[in-house]
Amino acid sequence: MLPVGCVRVIPYSSQYEEAYRCNFLGLSPHVQIPTHVLSSEFAVVVEVHTAAPSSLPPAGCEDDQSLSKYEFVVTSGSAVAADRVGPTILNKMEAALTNQNLSVDVVDQCLICLKEEWMNKVKVLFKFTKVDSRPKEDTQKLLSILGASEEDNVKLLKFWMTGLSKTYKSHLMSTVRSPPATEPRN
């Protein structure tokens, strides 16, 4: 679901790799994670363990790809609040994924549309803030119009902004800003 430019993955490593090399790092269980990473508010550690036999589905009900065979433990240097609302897009994704009335194809299309919707917001925000250099107050108004003024939404947009291609950014930066209108718009 992340924009391609936002993903730098090392899927399975036998040693810790610094954040400038990747932003998703898979580690073997014996690898030590540096304490500065464990205490950082910008890092999230997801431990994957085999589920206890008592929590597994009854025999014959599981498939080979089922995540119910695993337990996930999430930790971070900042509080990982389970009751936190989170970015709007994640809430919409969760609603689509848990809706039993939707087919797999419909959910797939819903996720694609959500990603496109939020990438468009990212593009508007990039042009508004980086190309046009608008004041912070105007940016807040824009975020409100985009339905993304909550802190989690702003963080998501800024992270996704890093995924915009250099070509796209260069194209926007090279466009000449149109002269200001002499008459107010209706």
Containing domain of residue 117, as a range? 88-176
Residue 135 within any structural domain of the chain: yes
List the pLDDT tens digit at each of the 186 positions of the chain.
888 888 999 999 999 999 889 989 999 989 999 999 999 888 888 988 888 776 555 555 555 556 778 888 888 887 765 556 778 998 899 999 999 999 999 999 999 999 999 999 999 999 988 888 888 999 999 999 999 989 889 989 999 998 888 888 888 888 755 555 555 555
Using CA atoms, how far residue 76 sits from 19, 20, 40, 155, 171, in Å, is 15, 19, 7, 17, 37
Residue 110 within any structural domain of the chain: yes
Which of the listed residues 54, 76, 98 is the one where a domain comes to its end?
Answer: 76
Do 53 and 19 share a structural domain? yes
Give pTM, 2 decimals.
Answer: 0.71
| CA–CA separation, 111 and 13 (whole Å) | 30
Q: How many separate domains does the chain show?
A: 2
Residue 102 within any structural domain of the chain: yes
Which of the listed residues 24, 43, 76 is the one where a domain comes to its end?
Answer: 76
Q: What is the CATH number of the domain that holds 95?
A: 1.10.10.1730
Structure tokens at 24: 């998703």
